[in-house]
Amino acid sequence: MTYGPPEPQRTSSGNDGFGITSMVLGILGLIFVWVPGFDVVTAVLAVIFGAVSIRSANRTGRAKGMAIAGLTLGIISLAGAIIVIVYIAALAGGASA
Lowest mean pLDDT: which of 1-10, 23-32, 35-44, 81-90?
1-10
Asked if pLDDT for residue 95 goes beyond 90, the answer is no
In terms of DSSP H, where are the helices of 1-97? 17-31, 36-60, 65-96
Name the DSSP class of 13. Answer: -
Rg (CA), the chain: 20
Range 29-34 average pLDDT: 91
Residues 37-80: pLDDT tens digits? 899 999 999 999 999 999 998 888 888 899 999 999 999 999 99
First vs last C-alpha separation in the chain:
89
Task: Measure the CA–CA gap between 90 and 14, rounded to whole angstroms.
Answer: 45
Query: Is the pLDDT confidence value at 8 over 80?
Result: no
Determine how many CB atoms are found less than 10 A away from the CB of residue 34.
11
Q: Are 25 and 74 in contact (CB under 8 A)?
A: yes
